[in-house]
Amino acid sequence: MTDPVFYHGTKAKLQPGDLLVPGYRANLGGHQAAWIYFSATLEAAVWGAELAQGEGRGHIYIVEPTGPWMDDPNLTDKKFPGNPTKSYRSQQPLRIVSELMDWEGHPPEQLAAMRAGIERLMREGAEIIN
């Protein structure tokens, strides 16, 4: 059995060998993130790249965890039991393997609807990422 390919979407411009680490401001909620998030599905990484803080087009990186990781409870325990999104988190760095250059974002109206939904949840005080 082969290891899964893991993805991380962000606005940060990185190079192979760079490390993504927790401790930066979270894209959702604006607090300091105790975890670094990644997925084995390209779709989740596309959302990450599009919703990330910052200007310009996002980047999607193929990453490898450098330490233990677990299912992302924000999604697997609350929204999608059983982890169909294959979303994970770690408190250890992710190493950039390469950048995925050929990916397509969501239509503008779908992206606007997602942003509006996230903003509504944040106004209501929902803990989007813990």
Structure confidence by residue, pLDDT tens digits, 7-17: 999 999 999 99
Structure confidence by residue, pLDDT tens digits, 87-106: 899 999 999 999 999 999 99
User: Structure pTM?
Assistant: 0.83
User: What percentage of the chain carries pLDDT values higher than 70?
Assistant: 80
124 pLDDT more than 70:
yes
Domains of the chain, by residue range, sit at 6-123
pLDDT bracket for residue 18 (50, 70, 90)? very high
Tokens of 96: 């950039």
Whole-number Cα distances in Å, 114 to 39, 47, 64, 83, 91: 18, 9, 28, 20, 27
> Please, are residues 46 and 105 in contact by the beta-carbon 8 Å criterion?
yes
CATH class of 6-123: alpha beta
- CA 69 centroid distance within chain: 14
